[in-house]
Amino acid sequence: MAPRADDVQTVASGLLTAGVSTLCDSKLGRYAIGTACLAAAYNFLLTPKQQKTKEHFDNRSSRFKALQQKHFPPGFPNTWHAVCNAADLTDGQVKSISALGTELVAFRGADGKAAVLDAFCPHMGAHLGFGGQVVGNTIQCPFHGWSFDGSGTCHRIPYTTRLTEEVKEGAKIKAYETRELLGRIFIWFDAEGRPPQWDLAAGLDLEEAVTRGDCYPVAMRCSIFHQHCCEMHMNSADPFHFQTLHAPLPIPGLGRFIKGIHRIRTIYGEGEIRGKVEKHQHLTLFKEKTMGLYLFGKKRWPVPFSATVAQLIDTVVTFEGPNMMHFKLITPLGTIRQIKTILPIEPFKQQVEMYWYAEKSVPRIIAYLLSLIGKVALEQDLEVWENKLYWKEPVLVEGDGPFQEFFDWYGQFYSQSSSQVGRHQLEW
């Protein structure tokens, strides 16, 4: 009769137990087991495991900045720049500003006018922003009491009465043409020292609406971006990146599942002024429309009613020069607006400020949520912007946007001396 499987298993188990017991009872057996345990421990603890290669790329390194310098335009375009806010100049405050390859100081005189000067006193080099005081319509140096007005002219030296025209001329500080709009202080910057080539106009109707109470402020946000100031404007020439970087719905948690399809149109040399399209070389008109939302970006899986809702919303942007954008989000509830300014602190370090406003008909909570969505949408580009180069002659194919038109338009904001500005910060 054949043995049963249970009997075979019992016998095998007994033999194995007896063998192990015999092995453990002998010195040779104990030695063999100890050696095996040590070998196993060695392999587990000391045998090297393959690791990921260390990442050496650093977009803040001098090496990468030198590479950027080689390919990008100069860091400081000729245009109006928002250098500080009106709130910085209340109650006789003096504001120090590091930007545009130099050091500046801003103050507001007793006449209510904001002024911006180079920061260092021509007498002995003291920084007017540290200990300087507003006296009447002048700023007084903390070191020896010399006083300068908004035009940079020296008005008083407390220990001499011989303030001749020659001394005044020698002691004159560089002053900047200023404009105040929507609580921001703008200066005209030009590498050749030329006067303003145009005036700020695209935000005047919004300022008037806020003054009348037809619009209210929603939010203000400030961020630092380590990139060249041209990048945000170059989006206007790049329709396809809206189908990649901006396809995910800019709402945390939903972008992985819901994607949109965008359509854009760009016209260089035009922009909206007081609601009407005008032709000016320093303007760009940009229109964007979301055609609908889809699950995982598949047109066969549309989000219900998303296309219908999207048809009711339009985005119109006017680029006013190279570093200022005026957004209009036109909805059935009313218009939401954003003023975005880019201030080059260094050639590859930008301070970006975003001010949001809404018409009274727009509920505050909706306007605020849309401002948060706008912030996330802006940051969708960030990783690419901070780690890319600028090809002046890119390889273009059918389907690319009007990059050459953008290059021609953006190039007008540089002049012969632009590459020399701020050389002490980064060699150009």
> What is the number of H-type helices and E-type strands within the chain?
10, 18
Where is average pLDDT lowest: 134-138, 180-184, 290-294? 290-294
Average pLDDT over residues 189-197: 95
| Cα(121)–Cα(300) distance, integer angstroms | 67
What pLDDT, on a 0 to 100 scale, did the predictor assign at position 42?
79
pLDDT exceeds 70 at position 17: no
| Cα(186)–Cα(29) distance, integer angstroms | 87
pLDDT exceeds 90 at position 122: yes
pLDDT exceeds 60 at position 411: yes
The pLDDT confidence band at residue 6, using thresholds 50, 70 and 90, is low
| Cα(84)–Cα(187) distance, integer angstroms | 10
The residue extents of the domains of the chain are: 79-181, 202-414
What pLDDT, on a 0 to 100 scale, did the predictor assign at position 10?
53
pLDDT exceeds 50 at position 15: no
Helices (H), 171-283: 204-212, 231-234
Instruction: Supply φ then ψ for residue 356, to 5 degrees.
Output: -110, 140
What pLDDT, on a 0 to 100 scale, did the predictor assign at position 36?
83
pLDDT exceeds 60 at position 427: no
Residue 30 parent element (H or E): helix 27-46
CATH of domain 202-414: 3.90.380.10
What pLDDT, on a 0 to 100 scale, did the predictor assign at position 13?
53
Where is average pLDDT lowest: 52-61, 83-92, 321-330? 52-61
Please list, residue by residue across 134-148, b when 16 or more beta carbons sit within 10 angstroms of its beta carbon and e when fewer do.
Answer: bbebbbbbbbeebbb
Protein fold of 79-181: Rieske Iron-sulfur Protein (2.102.10)
Higher confidence at residue 271 or residue 2?
271
What pLDDT, on a 0 to 100 scale, did the predictor assign at position 88?
96
The pLDDT confidence band at residue 363, using thresholds 50, 70 and 90, is very high
Higher confidence at residue 182 or residue 35?
182
What pLDDT, on a 0 to 100 scale, did the predictor assign at position 27?
66
pLDDT exceeds 50 at position 20: no
For the chain, percent of residues with pLDDT exceeding 70: 92
The pLDDT confidence band at residue 24, using thresholds 50, 70 and 90, is low
What pLDDT, on a 0 to 100 scale, did the predictor assign at position 21?
54
What pLDDT, on a 0 to 100 scale, did the predictor assign at position 421?
82
Question: Is the full-model pTM beyond 0.75?
Answer: yes
pLDDT exceeds 90 at position 233: yes
pLDDT exceeds 90 at position 294: no
Higher confidence at residue 247 or residue 283?
283
What pLDDT, on a 0 to 100 scale, did the predictor assign at position 16?
44
What pLDDT, on a 0 to 100 scale, did the predictor assign at position 33?
78
Higher confidence at residue 425 or residue 214?
214
Higher confidence at residue 312 or residue 358?
358
Q: pLDDT (tens digit, 9 = 90+) per residue, 205-223? A: 999 999 999 999 999 999 9
Q: CA angle 126-130-131, nearest 5°?
A: 95
| Cα(184)–Cα(93) distance, integer angstroms | 15
| Cα(255)–Cα(236) distance, integer angstroms | 22
Q: pLDDT (tens digit, 9 = 90+) per residue, 132-148? A: 999 999 999 999 999 99
Average pLDDT, the chain: 89
pLDDT exceeds 50 at position 260: yes
What pLDDT, on a 0 to 100 scale, did the predictor assign at position 22?
53
The pLDDT confidence band at residue 318, using thresholds 50, 70 and 90, is very high
How many angstroms from the chain centroid is the CA of residue 413?
19
Where does residue 357 rank: exposed (0-12), middle (13-18), buried (19+ CB within 10 A)?
buried
Q: Which residues contact 220 (CB under 8 A, 6 or more apart)?
A: 353, 354, 355, 356
